[in-house]
Amino acid sequence: MRGAPAEGRESRVPLSKVAFDHPGTRAAWVNARRRVIARLTLWTILWVTSSLAPSLLQEFDVISMSDTGEGVLGLIVSLTFFAYLVILYLDVSALRSIKRIRRILEAAPWHPIPAARKHPLLKDASGVPVQLQLGPAGEADELRGVMSARGSVHRRRWPEAMEQGAWYAGDVEGHGVLALPGGTRLMEVRPRP
């Protein structure tokens, strides 16, 4: 049945005053933050080693480069630096999103919603276009307007299980957090520009 929660998933909303007090939610938030910081650290280490290794190897006469080789080396270092800047921008943006998610979770409780549906026709550059179903199926005001949902780690990855039920914290017309029942797979939700 489409509207029933999947077996094994926690469908009851916790009785805590704010969503961040729920242990599953807190664990999901910590895990998302840890993954972004680990990715940023890994890319920083890779960039530094890829930038310094050829120069050090040439300095200790492990390899020798002609003027052409040094020009190619400079191009490679420049390209890796540009790639690192793009990754740095994306990871800092993800950390800011995680910080906004925490602020919302510390201010609002979880509310169960029957479904959150990905809009089949629209595209969204910063996330996934979604509609929140706040009332039971068949009501006149069943689906809210299209909003943009963005994952904290994977920006545009949509968990299909949210179409069978989800938890929502925050303002329905503005910013909020969407999660699978149990407080996992946190997504920042905001009005579409």
Tens of pLDDT, residue by residue over 89-107, are: 988 989 999 999 999 999 9
Residue 172 pLDDT: 74
Of the three residues 54, 75, 107, the one that is the final residue of a domain is 107
Inform me whether the pLDDT recorded for 140 exceeds 50: no
Same-domain pairing of 186 and 169? yes
> Residues 181, 11: contact at Cβ < 8 Å?
yes
Which residue range is the domain that position 120 belongs to? 111-191
Who's near 99: CB < 8 A, 6+ residues apart?
Answer: none
10 within a domain of the structure (yes/no): no
Q: What is the pTM of this model?
A: 0.77
Better-scored residue on pLDDT, 38 or 1: 38
Better-scored residue on pLDDT, 113 or 67: 113
Residue 171 pLDDT: 83
Inform me whether the pLDDT recorded for 38 exceeds 60: yes
Q: What is the pLDDT of residues 41-77, one digit of tens each?
A: 998 898 888 777 777 766 766 666 665 666 677 777 7
What mean pLDDT do residues 70-91 have? 82
Same-domain pairing of 72 and 126? no
Same-domain pairing of 120 and 155? yes
Of the three residues 61, 81, 107, the one that is the final residue of a domain is 107
Inform me whether the pLDDT recorded for 5 exceeds 70: no
Same-domain pairing of 120 and 100? no
φ/ψ of residue 47, rounded to 5: -65, -45
Please give the tally of structural domains in the chain.
2
Residue 95 pLDDT: 92
Same-domain pairing of 121 and 92? no
Exposed/middle/buried for residue 97 (C-beta within 10 Å: 0-12, 13-18, 19+): buried
**pLDDT category of residue 150 using cuts at 50, 70 and 90:** confident
